[in-house]
Amino acid sequence: MSELQAHSPLGASGAYRWMVCPGSVGHSAGVIDPESEFAALGTAAHALASLCLTSGDEIDAWLLIGEWVYEGEIVGPGPSPEDMPHLEQVIHIDKGMADAVQVYLNAVRYEHPDQNQGNTWVERKFHCPDIHELFYGTADFVHYDEAKSTLHVWDYKHGAGIVVDVFANPQLMYYACGALTDLRLWKVAKRIVLHVAQPRGWHSDGPLREWSITKGELANWLDDVLVPAMDRAQTSTDTASGDHCRFCPARWRACPQLVADEKELTKLMAKMKEKGGAKKLSHKDIARLLDLGEVMKISIKAARENGFARAEGGAKIPGWKLVKARSNREFKETAEKAAIKKFGKDKAFTTPELKSPAKIDTLPGGKKFTTEYAFKPEKGMQLVQASDARNEAGPSTRSMFKPQHNN
């Protein structure tokens, strides 16, 4: 992969950001964004999935528990300091990662049992200068069903904190355009199905979600939305804040939008003080205050991560200190046999219990079973951002709780 393709400022993975905030491209130029622990885990999980999907023997992820991943490559059961000087970048494949990846593998294999070299592509990289000079991307899994003239594009998300919607997902639509162009399928494909597999993130539609679009609709989006957005991102300095700021490289700088948001927040706080508290603010002011609060969390997180790095390097951050992170005790590998010998299996082991509904879903006929026997208990209400994956509560549900009126 070329250096430009690896770090294309207008690549598919960043479309969710630069399509709404074109100025972020210029403000992020030259910023080295350190890979977070979560990003490294995602990279390792993708390497595991890729190996399993490209192996001729249809390897399951569980068979690779205990292996290590270094710089996106599975390197064996144990790291070698000589070969891997940055041992902090070595990721261990554990049961949790294998379980999540296996959900994705099972789904892909079930949906596309007729995979072969002519209709299936894993980690398909593309560069389509005919669309735009900076049109780059890597699709996790692409399958073309010739009999149904349908292109399937899959994206595996290992993260649990940020739930990804598949409906009109710009990253997946970008991948679809790239795949159709790179594989020369525009003339033959009629329908495109986009898939998101996110086993570790809760969504009301479940861990496997799909959305379809016609070739004509996708072509219109490419010409009327995506390409104009790419052109704007190359020249515009306009900025906008929101969820997309979380992974924007410009968050490490004094992004002008974040600075402007901080000033707006200060004015709103002054207004709240002047009126005598939050209860006196309008619905619009409360909404904006909540929005700005979410954006400020991004700035604070950047400061916290930077402060942590400085403290690790020996710097003294006034009022802050490094401490050992809290953790729960875990048994050593030899504990199981020792416990049986000392206490007996009946006393040392818990009684087997029913798996969670999510795990039962993965069994043959599991979803039908959970539809009949599983339920979601009521746990009250929450105020969340409109982009949250959960469905909005209807009037009949809200009426069970005390209404709050704006004065």
CB count within 10 Å of CB 61 equals 23
pLDDT of amino acid 235: 93
pLDDT of amino acid 407: 45
Pair of tokens at residue 353: 């219990």
DSSP 20: T
pTM: 0.74
Burial letters 140-166, b for 16+ CB under 10 A, else e = bbbbbbeeeebbbbbbbbbeeeebbbb
CB contact at 8 A, 5 and 136: yes
Residue identified by tokens 């050593």 is 332
Q: Where are the alpha helices (DSSP H) in 222-365?
A: 227-235, 256-275, 283-312, 335-343, 345-348, 357-361
pLDDT of amino acid 398: 53
Q: What are phi and psi of 68, to 5 degrees?
A: -125, 150
Q: Which residues of the chain have pLDDT under 50?
A: 1-4, 401, 403-407
CB under 8 Å to 54, separation ≥6 — which residues?
122
What's the pLDDT tens digit per position in 83-108?
A: 555 555 678 899 999 999 999 999 99
pLDDT of amino acid 297: 87
pLDDT of amino acid 6: 52
Query: What does DSSP say about strands 68-70 and 73-76: parallel, antiparallel, or unpaired?
Result: antiparallel
pLDDT of amino acid 109: 95
HSE, CB side, 13 Å, CA atoms: give it for residue 188.
14
- Which string of DSSP letters, residue by residue, matches 244-265? GGGG-GGGGTT-HHHHHHHHHH
CB contact at 8 A, 183 and 144: yes
